[in-house]
């Protein structure tokens, strides 16, 4: 009896050990996934506000919140066309409202039993991103397992979990963006293709089986190939621009089919996978088409067409290989022929299909290969190429795991040379990895893709090291007893190498995923803009109701619109909001108003043209041209082009009514703004009377006049529309900031401004001024302390002093309304012709920023008459119910009009301002005419109070140093008071402090 018991127990023990050896990876992967979710949700409470309003981490996250809510309202449909952005045409938003949003809403529908509340929808959306990141561990494990066994797969998963770079930053709570969805579905698509290739090499489908209709032999490879094609189609459904993976697969199939033919292996096996998988992708993506054309970021003809071409290419290469062998041609010329045919095909595309060629080349250089990105790419922080890519950048992103990946990649490619088995999926991983490296070197953000290759290929490195030192990690307890000391040392060194510096104590403080997960916080810019956009929503008429038009019902915020001609025809009473494209999503989602430009970079050039226009007349002409819908070449445009466009339009009811400008636009982002329309940044910051690079003293620079001061942006933001006829300040944010700090680097010996390119100085250059490439540096936003920190490296160059000037303090965001303006008319008898006549009124900002004075100037005519057009009213008789604005800025009295010794006062009704009516004023001769304020006071304060630094957020069009996802462009808060806007030069600042 006892013997039987011992036998049963012994067998049970063996069974448990065998089961553990077969399945131990599942609980390990599960624990790692739970860790990945936990570490990304540590800061969850920061994204849940008391009033229930969203608090998200990135600019694009706000627009995904918009498309998620829209999908919930119209489930299961996604938004076909967006009319609440891109005024006056609307915008097809192809990368938003995709499978990514549908999955989140579907999960919320399940949680909310078919009718989720806004709170439920928001909670699910917050948790969806960390969950998708954790789910990526599943395909990563199986990809690593196929290359390096179970232990290799576990190493891959742990690397994915501990990598603190772009993938982690974009998958923490609050990052409601499709990037993590892209990564998850790319991993699924690649691993599915690996499996399909493995099955095809085992089952060996060939052309004869198809001719014989031997479906039994073809069923398994066809099924797995079709699933691989479906996985690729799902990836494209998440992100239309995932067509790039079709291109990567196309290169792989071309390379592998050539290799197979040279090795004497039938290309039919791999070609079968390519034809079936990409054929399925072509069919599925054809069902997704929403727009005609070949747009990359939309569901267009491009995706199915590209997939079909790759599928056809696989069939063609297999056929050509058969013909090549049948004719007894030299096998080594086969690859050269394929390359020649590919070059010829590109040439034909260039000649016959220039649009497709431009799309192909444009995306090749901007997404896949670091060649020549355009303006739109270089002004997006996340799309800029990283500096020191192969050294500091990849080490910060992946630690030493990037370099061990390169070793693993080399070992993978070298397998045939080592006499080891080489499978087609190895070529796939090699080609895919090289492309991901190139993509990450092209754009900062694509490091979130590269993490997949780093994780998966490290499985090869670990597996080969284990094999090299004869380590049996699968043999159970007995094998562990046989491990030698040197083998333990090897294992320790491998772990140390792969995971340094990803975990403490090897990692620096604050650099691990645990540390960084704790610091996740909402986008500070969104919080600041929220006050202004909420004011916009509550104090301006609904689009369609401006001027009492009563057409708001035609613009349902959750309505469905699909204009046949691609542009939406807005009803009378609709209007747009002008700002820089960074803030378009805030205006749409927080303010429920229609921005002209947006983070899709739609209308970025026309916004640039307006903000940099150097007169009100030119600015008005630009807005009229925008409303006309004319196709204007906004870069280096001529006023004659705008006048012709406006004349051709013959009037329009579509108008841009509001302009919103923040401190970043006025300061650090101005450089990026100038890149779109021209002339360049140097034109605006080079003082009048000086040439670029000409020697100038710090005092001359401080007192000089800059073309920047004449721009629409500067005259509105810093001048509060002083002297302008058609713009009035209607609201400013309660938050005050150091809005404008210019600086100069001064030669301590000569007192002249040094004109070296500051970025090249960071690498250290001789202090030989004659070798420096001239450029005057002003208009940099920031406090002296920030500039000291940013350019501390200048202490290495002798004889440099940092001088700060032109310090202005202003509201973080100002909102202006575009109005007809009231015309004040009168007669100043006895005043000589050509003499100036002034009208001024004191205004209350409606915030803690104090008062300011608006002044308008005109000249007296020969008969003594005069006219002045003013935008500010002296009463507040109109409001939202009338179709106009509840302005927060109010006059403190009537206008005072002065011409020589004559003066008078008049009220200006708000109806006259918005409808362009005339108001008469009577002037009388006075002994002591009222003094005219020059209107030069800012809304600033006393000496600035360095406050809390804020994080600039994701994907901003900034001018920050360093490439990264988060701009880290700090605002300094300051108290409001009565500082003047006159430039003052500070004492020299020691940059070494």
pLDDT tens figures, 358-371 = 777 766 666 666 65
| DSSP-assigned letter for residue 903 | E
Q: What is the pLDDT of residues 449-506, one digit of tens each?
A: 999 999 999 999 998 888 776 555 555 445 544 555 555 666 667 777 777 767 776 6
Dihedral (CA of 267, 253, 193, 290) sign: negative
The whole-model pTM stands at: 0.86
| DSSP-assigned letter for residue 393 | I
Q: What is the pLDDT of residues 773-782, one digit of tens each?
A: 444 454 454 5
Token pair, residue 738, equals 């150091």
> What angle, rounded to 10 degrees, do the helices at 59-73 and 524-539 form?
50
CB 757 within 8 A of CB 791: no
CB 401 within 8 A of CB 985: no
Those residues of the chain that have pLDDT short of 50 are 1-8, 476-477, 480-481, 759-776, 778-779, 781, 936-993
CB 737 within 8 A of CB 974: yes
CB 445 within 8 A of CB 179: yes
- pLDDT value of position 698: 73
Please, which residues have CB within 8 angstroms of residue 604's CB and are 6 or more apart in sequence? Answer: 376, 581, 597, 676
Q: Which residue has the tokens 């918005």?
A: 914
CB 930 within 8 A of CB 896: yes
DSSP result, 313-325: HHHHHHHHHHHHH
- Using alpha carbons, list the distances in angstroms from residue 971 to 741, 781, 951: 11, 9, 8
- pLDDT value of position 524: 82
Question: Which run of H or of E encompasses 717?
Answer: helix 712-717
CB 721 within 8 A of CB 712: no
Token pair, residue 20, equals 């553990």
Q: Which residue has the tokens 């020549």?
A: 372
CB 702 within 8 A of CB 984: yes
- pLDDT value of position 348: 86
- pLDDT value of position 902: 92
Selection from 618, 610, 710 nearest residue 658 by Cα:
610
């Amino acid at each position: 009896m006892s013997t039987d018991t011992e036998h049963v127990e012994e067998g049970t023990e063996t069974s448990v050990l065998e089961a553990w050896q077969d399945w131990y990876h599942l609980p390990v992967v599960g624990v790692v996934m739970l860790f990945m979710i936990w570490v990304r949700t540590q800061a969850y409470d920061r994204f849940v506000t008391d009033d229930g309003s969203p608090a998200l981490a990135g600019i694009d996250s706000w627009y995904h919140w918009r498309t998620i809510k829209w999908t919930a309202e119209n489930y299961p449909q996604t938004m076909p066309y967006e009319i609440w952005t891109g005024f006056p045409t609307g915008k097809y938003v192809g990368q938003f409202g995709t499978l990514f949003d549908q999955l989140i809403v579907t999960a919320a529908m399940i949680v909310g039993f078919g009718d989720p509340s806004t709170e439920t929808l928001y909670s699910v959306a917050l948790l969806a991103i960390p969950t998708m990141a954790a789910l990526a561990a599943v395909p990563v494990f199986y990809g690593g397992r196929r290359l390096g066994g179970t232990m290799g797969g576990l190493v891959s998963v742990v690397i994915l979990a501990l990598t603190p770079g772009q993938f982690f930053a974009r998958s923490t709570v609050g990052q409601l963006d499709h990037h993590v969805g892209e990564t998850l579905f790319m991993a699924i698509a690649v691993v599915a293709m690996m499996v399909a290739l493995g099955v095809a090499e085992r089952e060996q489908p060939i052309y004869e089986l198809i001719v014989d209709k031997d479906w039994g032999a073809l069923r398994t490879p066809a099924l797995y190939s079709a699933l691989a094609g479906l996985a690729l189609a799902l990836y494209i459904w998440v992100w239309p621009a995932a067509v790039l993976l079709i291109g990567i697969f196309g290169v792989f199939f071309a390379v592998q089919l050539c290799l197979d033919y040279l090795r004497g292996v039938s290309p039919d096996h791999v070609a079968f996978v390519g034809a079936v998988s990409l054929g399925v992708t072509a069919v599925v993506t054809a069902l997704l088409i929403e727009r005609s054309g070949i747009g990359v970021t939309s569901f267009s003809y491009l995706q199915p067409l590209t997939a079909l071409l790759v599928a056809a290419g696989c069939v063609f290469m297999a056929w050509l290989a058969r013909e090549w062998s049948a004719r007894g041609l030299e096998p080594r010329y086969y690859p050269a022929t394929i390359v020649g045919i590919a070059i010829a095909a590109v040439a034909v595309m260039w000649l016959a299909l220039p649009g497709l060629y431009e799309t192909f080349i444009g995306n090749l250089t901007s997404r896949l290969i670091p060649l020549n990105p355009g303006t739109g790419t270089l002004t997006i922080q996340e799309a800029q190429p990283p500096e020191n890519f192969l050294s500091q950048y990849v080490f910060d992103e992946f630690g030493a795991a990037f370099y061990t990946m390169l070793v693993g990649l080399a070992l993978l490619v070298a397998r045939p040379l080592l006499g080891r088995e080489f499978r087609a999926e190895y070529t796939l991983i090699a080609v895919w990895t090289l492309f991901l490296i190139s993509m990450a070197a092209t754009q900062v953000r694509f490091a979130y893709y590269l993490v997949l290759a780093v994780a998966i290929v490290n499985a090869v490195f670990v597996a080969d090291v284990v094999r090299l030192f004869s380590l049996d990690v699968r043999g159970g307890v007995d094998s562990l007893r046989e491990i030698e000391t040197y083998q333990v040392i090897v294992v320790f060194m491998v772990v140390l190498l792969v995971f340094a510096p990803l975990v403490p104590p090897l990692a620096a403080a604050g650099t691990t995923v645990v540390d960084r997960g704790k610091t996740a916080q909402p986008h500070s810019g969104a919080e600041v803009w929220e006050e202004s956009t909420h004011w916009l929503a509550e104090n301006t008429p609904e689009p369609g109701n401006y001027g009492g038009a009563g057409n708001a019902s035609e613009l349902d915020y959750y309505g469905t619109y699909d204009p046949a001609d691609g542009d939406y025809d807005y009803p009378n009473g609709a209007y747009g909001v002008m700002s820089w494209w960074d803030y378009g999503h805030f205006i749409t989602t927080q303010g429920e108003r229609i921005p002209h430009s947006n983070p899709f970079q739609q209308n970025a050039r026309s916004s640039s043209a307006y903000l940099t226009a150097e007169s009100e007349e030119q600015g008005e002409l630009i807005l009229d041209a925008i409303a006309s819908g004319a196709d204007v070449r906004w870069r280096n445009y001529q006023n004659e082009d705008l006048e012709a466009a406006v004349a051709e339009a013959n009037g329009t009811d579509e108008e841009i009514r509001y302009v919103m400008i923040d401190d970043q636009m006025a300061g650090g982002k101005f450089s990026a703004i100038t890149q779109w329309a021209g002339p360049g940044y140097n034109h605006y910051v080079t003082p009048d009377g000086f040439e670029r690079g000409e020697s100038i003293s710090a005092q001359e620079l401080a007192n000089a006049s800059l073309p920047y001061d004449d721009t629409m942006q500067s005259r509105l933001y810093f001048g509060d529309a002083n002297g302008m006829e058609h713009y009035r300040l209607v609201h400013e944010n309660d938050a005050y900031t150091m809005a404008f700090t210019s600086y100069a680097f001064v030669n301590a010996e000569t007192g002249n401004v040094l004109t070296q390119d500051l970025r090249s100085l960071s690498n250290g250059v001789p202090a030989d001024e004659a070798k420096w490439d001239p450029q005057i540096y002003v208009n940099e936003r920031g406090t002296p302390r920030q500039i000291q920190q940013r350019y501390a490296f200048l202490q290495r160059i002798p004889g440099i002093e940092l001088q700060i000037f032109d310090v202005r303090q202003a509201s973080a965001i100002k909102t202006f309304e575009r109005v007809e303006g009231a015309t004040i008319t009168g007669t100043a008898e006895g005043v000589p012709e050509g003499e100036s006549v002034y009208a001024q009124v004191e205004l209350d900002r409606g915030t803690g920023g104090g008062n300011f004075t608006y002044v308008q100037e005109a000249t007296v005519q020969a008969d003594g008459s005069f006219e002045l057009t003013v935008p500010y009213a002296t009463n507040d008789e109109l409001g939202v119910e009338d179709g106009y604005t509840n302005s927060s800025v109010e006059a403190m009295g009537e206008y005072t009009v002065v011409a020589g010794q004559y003066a008078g006062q008049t009220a200006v009704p708000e109806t006259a301002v918005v409808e362009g009516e005339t108001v008469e004023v009577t002037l009388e001769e006075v002994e002591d005419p009222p003094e005219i304020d020059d209107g030069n006071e800012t809304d600033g304060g006393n000496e600035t109070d360095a406050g809390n630094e804020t994080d600039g957020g994701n994907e901003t069009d900034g001018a920050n140093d360093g490439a990264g996802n988060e701009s880290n462009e700090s605002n300094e808060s300051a108290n409001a008071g009565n500082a003047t806007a006159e430039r003052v030069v500070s004492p020299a600042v020691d940059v070494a402090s």
